[in-house]
Structure 1
Amino acid sequence: MLTKDTLDLILGNALTAAQAKIDFPHGASLAVLPEAVRLHNLEPHELHRYRFRGRMATHSIADFAEYVKRHAAAAEENAPAGFVDQDNMSSIIIFNLGTIDEPGHGDDTATLALKATAAFRSLTKTVGNPLSQQDLAEWLEDWQQHLTALMGEEELPLLQAINGIRRMTIDSKKSSTSEVGDFSASRSQMDAIEARSLEVLPTGFTFEAVPYDGLPPVTIVLRLSVLTGSNAPILKLRWVGEESQREAIAQDFKRVLHEQLGDGIPLTLGEFQLIK
């Protein structure tokens, strides 16, 4: 059975060990604590926080840039850095990322997520999808301020192009031949199907719009195709050079962001995640 003196000695040694800090090379530290010890953060009871940390989020490039420049000036010693995600048209600035030698906590950030304009959202929902004559004609009427109709390389009045789509019909011409012999009979049949209109049909369109708030406008070329496999024509719009133009829009995003922020914060294409 342990005596009182022995228990006091054990308790004293435990308290001494709990107050000791173990330092390792390169700045790492550990503390030894009894298993049942609970840690309490007293920061919520202080007048001020121990250090600034928070997350700002916006869809506006102008407001994002204003906040970042104002906040980065106070956080310059913490080596802020920015990352641009071109796929999601977003960016994050980490004000206390720090450096390799003096890494920060990375919990003071500002996030920008660009919002597509109504015109660009409508375009991306429409291209590549099968449309009836009425659907396409109504879409063209709704967004006519952004559209120019084309007939080959020449411009076509938009109202004339819309009327041509509304008055489109499917013509089916059928021809057959037959041959009869003593012991056999054969017949061949060919259907010639084409789309016609009482008006001039457009071959495509150009669509000019600002893709995302804060970016410059772009001109998108659309080609019109007609599917004639049913009684009524099915129409599709194809975005010519979509992938390369989306990449160009993403480059515009980085360029505009750099112009707004200046050279004070380095921007890197890609995503970044702190590992805890």
Structure 2
Amino acid sequence: MKNQLNLPNEVEHEEQELLKILNKQTLPKHIAIIMDGNGRWAIKQGLPRFLGHHAGVKSLKEVINACCDLEIKVLTAFCFSTENWKRPQQEIDNIMHLLVEYLTNELIDLYAKGVRINPIGVLQELPQRARDALNRAVQHSLGNNGLVLNLALNYGGRLELTQAIREIVSAVEKGKLKAYQIDSTTVEKYLYTAGQPETDLLIRTSGDQRISNFLLWQIAYSEIWFTDVLWPDFRRIHLLRALVDYQERDRRYGGVKDK
């Protein structure tokens, strides 16, 4: 299926056609997105890399709005990884400033849409201003029962699993849990996404085809949709294309279906 944007009228027409095809009963409950390509987008425009992150906010807002319209239960956005601290300090500072700005400016609109903000990751290592903004957003949206927006910040899949193992071992040592009782359900209770549906669909933008240490447990049986579109150019139509493609797949979870 095409990945590039067409003329505005063609885009609107295609969106309407995709919406007709979509089966609202079999949409993914949980969508995760690796929002890649911000820096490359900026460089292509002859701009500083951090402006690519600013441009990417529009894409995130559009995807959130689309998920709300489609009544998707959970959206997990990979905002900042545990490896991203290796980037230039100026870029890190700009990303953290953008996070605070986004949560401040969009909170009322997100609340009105029923979005519940749920940051995941090693949050205590984020700058204080970022933690304060996240705490305000979490508290403000706590009672909402619409889309759960997981903001993955200082997040790494291996670290998440390592922390879960430590907590499970600690529970065993304290006699709260027996080793023979540990199963996949036990592990899931100790993940950042505890209580949420498994990730059905993982989307990665910018053309790279790798998982990059994201939701390693949660995406065990996810469908993965790659696109060459850089994140700042990602729009509602691309999400709809991904959803139509998702619904055309045969999800067998390792088994076979009766003929």
Which of these two proteins has the greater Rg computed from alpha carbons? Answer: 1
Instruction: Compare the two structures and name the one with the higher strand fraction.
Output: 1
Fold match by TM threshold 0.5: no
Tell me the TM-score normalized by structure 2: 0.21
| Greater relative contact order structure (CA < 8 Å, 6+ sep) | 2
- TM-score, with length taken from structure 1: 0.21
